[in-house]
Every structure is written in C-alpha cells, then in structure tokens.
Structure 1
C-alpha cells in the first residue's frame, strides 16, 4: 500500500479535527502561509488542502478574511460535481467499503455498455462519509477487469478510480456524465440513513474507449439534505 500524498495527510488531519469537534463551526483554519510554515510544504500543496476542504463543504473560504469551519449544509458547485477533473482529485472524506469483488458483467450492480454478459468486471460499492461520520453518498463502481486486474489489492477506502485508471494507461477517450433525480429505494435509503422514497440526485459517469465501449461506470447517489448544489459563472460569461 502506497503512502498517501502529503496534501492528503494534512487534509485528513483537518477532517478529523472537524469531525471530533476540535475545530468547531466558525473556527479559523491556518492560512496558506501558516500551513507552509507548520508543515513545510509548498504553496500549491497548502492551497490544495484548503480548496479541497472547501469543495467538500467542510470549510468556507472568505477572500482577505481567511478559512473557517462551515456550520451550514455544504454547498457544492454542480459543475465541479460533473466534470472529470474533480473526479480525478477525489473528494475529502472517509470511505466505508460495503463490498468489493470480481463478477460477470451480467451480475454486476451496474450495466457496462459494450461488455458481453460473461465479461469479467470489478465491482466496488462504498459509502462516502462526511466529517461527522454520517453517510454523504453511496458509490457503485463497475470496471473492466482487463484494465484493473489488481484493483482489489489497492487501498479501497482511499481509492480514486479516475486517478487509478490514468495511472494504468486505460484507453479512455470520452467521458459522459448523467445527472438524474431519483427516489431512494429501501436498500439505498437504509445505507444513506434516509426515508425510503426520499428524492435524491444520482450521477452516472461512463468512461469510454474510442470504440464507444465502457471501461468504467460509476453511479453516485447523494444522501437527501446532505448538500445544496449551485452553478456559478463569471459575470463576463453572461
């Protein structure tokens, strides 16, 4: 198992402090300059720690004022939720692995476009937990075994599939993202600690090769009420 990148170690340290209440809502986090001095890291690393915490809704960054622990429902940029670049970075928070196994495509929790019924795939199901150890989302991954034969040997709690596939040189040429309103069935509702039938948002990401066949499909179902989504554009683009 590889050591986590330095920015990830620092980020998880702050996540733990927020989860346990050591950093209460409204508490001020160190500035980028203070992080650099405290941890001996670059400006880019310090900036990434604070930006990732903000993207997760755990902190609020106020220009010229600082970074503070959030005390409201997290707000997430819907564009960041959809674009592959954000998926490659991963989102702060701990994962709890529900299941991880190799199955036939026909038996997987998600259909993999272009795969025959007997094609071997890796199936991974995880819960994403927030800083207070509450379910934030339910993730289902189905990946071609031929491009990920050693996936089950990875640290699946910290696994980021886009980063993994890029490292493996997977021949991904097109990524398609679907956003759909859904109602939670009893199974998903129980995992997300929500009422059955509650409205939610589902994101399905398909990573496809040049022939149009899928290499990976990921479905993320958000726990109702765990986040508010927004879209923001620069005024010059209007």
Structure 2
C-alpha cells in the first residue's frame, strides 16, 4: 500500500531537518509554499506540519508560521493516553530487546493485582530516532489472558493500547504517572547514557471496568532529550 501523501511530505521535511538543511529555529515553508513546492493540497500540507509538531520536531504559531524545534523534543502527555495519537509518537523505529511470556513474579516490573504465578507478557523495546539515536526504553507487562496473541504481532510497530482495543478489550481508564529516577547500569547501557544520571520515568496503567490492571508500561527517557507538557483548549479550563 502506498504511503499517504501527508506522510511522504512529513518524511521529506524530517529529512531536511535531520540533514541540517532546516536548522533549529528555522522557519518551515508555509502551507501555501508546500502546496506549490510538492504539488499537494492544502489539507495535506496542513496535516504534515501538524504531525511534525505532534512529533516534537516543529513549533506552530498562529499568524507567525511554523518553525523547527530545538534539539530537545517536546511532547503533550495527553497523546500517550489516546490510541489515535499514541501510535504516532517520535519518528523513528522500535528495536525489540526481549519478548517473552513469564510468571508475574518474574516480570521486569509488577502488574498490580496479578497473582505471582499468573502468566504475563513481558516486552522490552528501545525507541530510536531517524538518526538511530536511542530516545527511550519501554518495558511492557501485559496480562496474558487479555492478549494471548500479542507476541505474534509485528512488535517493532505494535501499539499495545490500540491492539487491546482491537481485540475488544474494554479499557475503562488510562492512568499516567511521572516519576524522577536515577539510571542503574543496565538501563544506562540500553539508553547509551551514564549510570547515576537523573531522568524521567513515565508509567502508564490500563484498567478495565472492574478495576483490574491489564497492562503497565514503564518508559525511561534518555536524559536531556525531551520535555513533557499538558496542553488543554481554553474551553476546558
């Protein structure tokens, strides 16, 4: 299947950014200019620029235009709890470190409420950017009964929240925690960082209507590579 035009355009702009053709702070082409340069429609140009902004590569200002973000990526935390946006994330690819079925007691981290002998799926991945630099390490622990076929999926592309909902699992609440931590030797090695460095741990819990936690994913961010924020429309505050 051919890649949608807005994704082709987004990738073309990403390539110019990472090649240094568009430096941090540089003004990106306007929607009109992109239409003329690439022969695309206005909605296609708009979506490509919006996707760059969601990925932390651009900053858009009404009436002033779009600009290349600096080297520290910025992410709206709300995107991590919405399936429609969770799959976009940072441009780049996942690298699977390990994937297995284990006892809950032996998993990389606890699944609240799970019996020690209950079967869980443990998936550890690294997220790499377009220049193959490590951005984060994700550690998923998923209730095996909720997604017994999870390890049969394309794990490099898998979005667990979307997969569970596609299977008909009724996710009632998504809870997000942020914790400051210090890297141990193993995590520092996975992140190409230094042991003892402070960083941010993002922990997400998925719960079904009866309160059971069916997944916990802990994401360690490589120090100095990202800032996180929550942005709400004015009508919501």
TM-score bracket relative to the smaller structure: 0.7 to 0.9
Task: Classify 1:217/1:27 alpha carbon distance in 2 versus 1 (closer, same or farther; 3 Å).
Answer: same
Show the counterpart of 2:89.
Answer: 91
Show the counterpart of 2:53. Answer: 54
Residue of structure 2 equivalent to 1:69: 68
In structure 2, the residue matched to 1:148 is: 147
Equivalent in the alignment of 1:31? 31
- Aligned partner of 1:171 in structure 2 is 170
Q: Distance in 2 between matches of 1:212 and 1:235?
A: 31
Q: Which residue of 1 aligns with 2:202?
A: 203
Deviation sequence 1:135-177 (CA, Å, 0-9, x none): 1111011111222122122221111111111111113212222
SS of aligned partner of 2:131: coil
Whole-Å separation in 1 of the counterparts to 2:160 and 2:236: 32
Partner residue in 2 for 1:159: 158
Partner of 2:221: 222
Give the corresponding residue for 1:192.
Answer: 191
RMSD: 3.1
Measured after TM superposition, the shift of residue 218 of structure 1 is: 0.6
Tell which deviates more after alignment, 139-148 or 49-58. Answer: 49-58
| In 2: Cα distance, 1:139 partner to 1:201 partner | 12
Query: Are the equivalent residues in 2 in contact too, given 1:207–1:217 (CA < 8 A)?
Result: yes
Instruction: Report what 1:113 is aligned to.
Output: 112
Q: Secondary structure at the match of 1:118?
A: coil
> d(CA) in 1 for partners of 2:13 and 2:202?
27
Question: Residues 10 and 197 (structure 1 numbering): CA distance in 2 closer, same or farther, change over 3 Å?
Answer: same
Alignment length (residue pairs) = 234
Q: Is the 8 Å Cα contact of residues 125 and 141 (structure 1) preserved in structure 2? A: yes
SS at match of 1:114: coil
**Secondary structure of the equivalent of 2:155?**
coil
Structure 2 counterpart SS, 1:28: coil
Query: C-alpha displacement at 1:20, in angstroms?
Result: 4.7
- Unaligned ranges ≥5, structure 2: none
8 Å CA contact 1:123, 1:142 repeated in 2 = yes
Map Cα deviations across residues 177-229 of structure 1 (whole Å, 9 max, x no partner).
21111011111111111111111111111111222221111101111100123
Give 1:84 shift: 3.8
Q: Cα offset for 1:41?
A: 7.4
Residue pair 1:121, 1:142 contacting (<8 A) in 2 also: yes
Query: Which has the larger displacement, 109-118 or 84-93?
Result: 84-93
